[in-house]
């Protein structure tokens, strides 16, 4: 029986790259997103490549949705081996303009979503009496707090803290919990970050915020979904069985920890 994985927020961007890589690694994959139209399109694309996938629409910030997502994976594929808490959103604003709505929205998706996904996956692994792997989307902003990204940085620091706490508590069940920390990728999320930073700046033009961050990368190129998927592929494999509680940077040399 092939292994089964769930990747939240996988209709596009880094999540899609991760889902496709896990398919290539031989996993049956549950794709998941709140954007149903894009999700259906991505599921069709991957099925055309003969990958074993299903799509489940859901909202990671709702605990019931996360448990239903895991149930769908178990009902379809008979088991779950890997849960990737990839879904996340960004917010860009000066610190003094951070709103109650911004805080609540980002923490609901980026933090609550990770907690509920981890709980749902761990519950399934324990029922199966098997080892399991939970892999969380952190960020360079989980190691370093960036100006204009205060709320996002705080949320990603929280993801790192929950990764550490869950790893300590779940180790006795042979469940590992790790996180991947991407840097600057040419995704729609980074397009929005660039746009907002330009809006709040007197001297930046469109594309320049992205260029500024990219120019500081030691390996002299921005990140691709494949760069992130390579790390997640390793963390999802048996080769990472002795690694837990780590938030691993995959940023081409931008933040050093």
- Known catalytic residues are 152
d(CA 176, CA 198): 40
Q: Is 64 annotated as a binding residue?
A: no
Known binding residue 187? Answer is yes
Q: Any binding-site annotation on 186?
A: yes
Distance CA 237, CA 232 (A): 9
Whether residue 152 is annotated as binding a ligand: the answer is yes
Q: If we measure between CA atoms, which residue out of 134, 220, 228, 217 comes closest to residue 181?
A: 228
Bridge partners (DSSP) of residue 20 are none
Determine if residue 60 is labeled as part of a ligand binding site. yes
Residue 25 known to bind ligand: no
The verdict on whether residue 57 carries a ligand-binding annotation is: no
Q: Are 212 and 249 in contact (CB under 8 A)?
A: no
User: Is 206 annotated as contributing to ligand binding?
Assistant: no
Burial 105-138 (b: 16+ CB within 10 A, else e): bbbbbbbbbbbbbbbbbbebbeeeeeebbbbbbb
Which residues make up each annotated binding site for NAD(+)? 33, 59-60, 86, 152, 156, 182-187
Which residues make up each annotated binding site? 33, 59-60, 86, 152, 156, 182-187
């Amino acid at each position: 029986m092939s292994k089964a994985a769930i990747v939240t927020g996988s209709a596009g961007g880094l999540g899609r790259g991760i889902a496709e890589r896990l398919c290539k690694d031989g996993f049956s994959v549950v794709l998941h997103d709140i954007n149903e139209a894009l999700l259906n399109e991505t599921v069709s694309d991957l099925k055309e490549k003969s990958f074993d996938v299903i799509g489940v629409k859901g909202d990671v910030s709702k605990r019931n949705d996360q448990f239903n997502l895991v149930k769908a994976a178990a009902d379809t594929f008979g088991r779950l081996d890997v849960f990737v808490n990839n879904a996340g959103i960004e917010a860009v604003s000066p610190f003094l303009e951070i709103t109650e709505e911004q805080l609540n929205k980002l923490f609901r998706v980026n933090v609550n979503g990770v907690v509920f996904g981890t709980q749902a996956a761990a519950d399934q692994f324990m029922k199966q009496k098997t080892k399991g792997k939970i892999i969380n989307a952190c960020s360079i902003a989980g190691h370093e707090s960036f100006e204009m990204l205060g709320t996002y940085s705080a949320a990603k620091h929280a993801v790192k803290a929950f990764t550490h706490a869950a790893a300590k508590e779940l180790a006795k069940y042979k469940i590992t919990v790790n996180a991947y920390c991407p840097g600057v990728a040419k995704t729609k999320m980074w397009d929005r970050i660039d746009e907002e930073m330009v809006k709040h700046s007197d001297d930046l033009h469109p594309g320049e915020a992205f260029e500024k961050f990219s120019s500081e990368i030691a390996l002299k190129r921005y990140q691709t979904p494949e760069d992130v998927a390579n790390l997640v592929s390793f963390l999802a494999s048996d080769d990472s069985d002795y690694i837990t509680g780590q938030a691993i940077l995959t940023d081409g040399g931008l933040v050093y920890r």
